Amino acid sequence: MERADGARSVTRAERKHLDRLATFPCAVCGTQPVQIHHPRAAVGMSQRASHFLGIPLCPECHQGQHGIHGDRSAWRLRKMDEWDALARVVEWMELST
């Protein structure tokens, strides 16, 4: 489904998944509240990855100066990349079912 502005609408299943992700702490530092980060690997820069690949990140680890959209130093200190964070989220989801 597409909205009038050309963006794709979020499906019911995607909304349920995003709401569940929002209950987890930041996958990097463990704090809350979180924003949902969409990894861009394997998609074009103007495209967003699937909502099912979302990663809960606190505002600093997401869009802060040292976060994934900044210099990534907070991630490097923890020796993590997006795939490590996604693996952590998958593990949390399995444990919480």
- The CATH number of the domain covering residues in 12-95: 3.30.40.190
Q: Tens of pLDDT along the chain (97 residues)?
A: 444 444 568 899 999 999 999 999 999 999 999 999 988 765 555 666 788 999 999 999 999 999 988 999 999 999 999 999 999 999 999 998 7
Model pTM score? 0.82
Give the pLDDT score at 3.
Answer: 47
Q: How many residues are listed for the chain in this entry?
A: 97
Q: Could you give the CA distance from residue 47 to residue 2 in angstroms, rounded to a whole number?
A: 14
Q: Cis ω on the peptide bond leading into residue 33 (within 30° of 0)?
A: yes
Q: What is the pLDDT of residue 5?
A: 46
Q: What is the pLDDT of residue 71?
A: 93
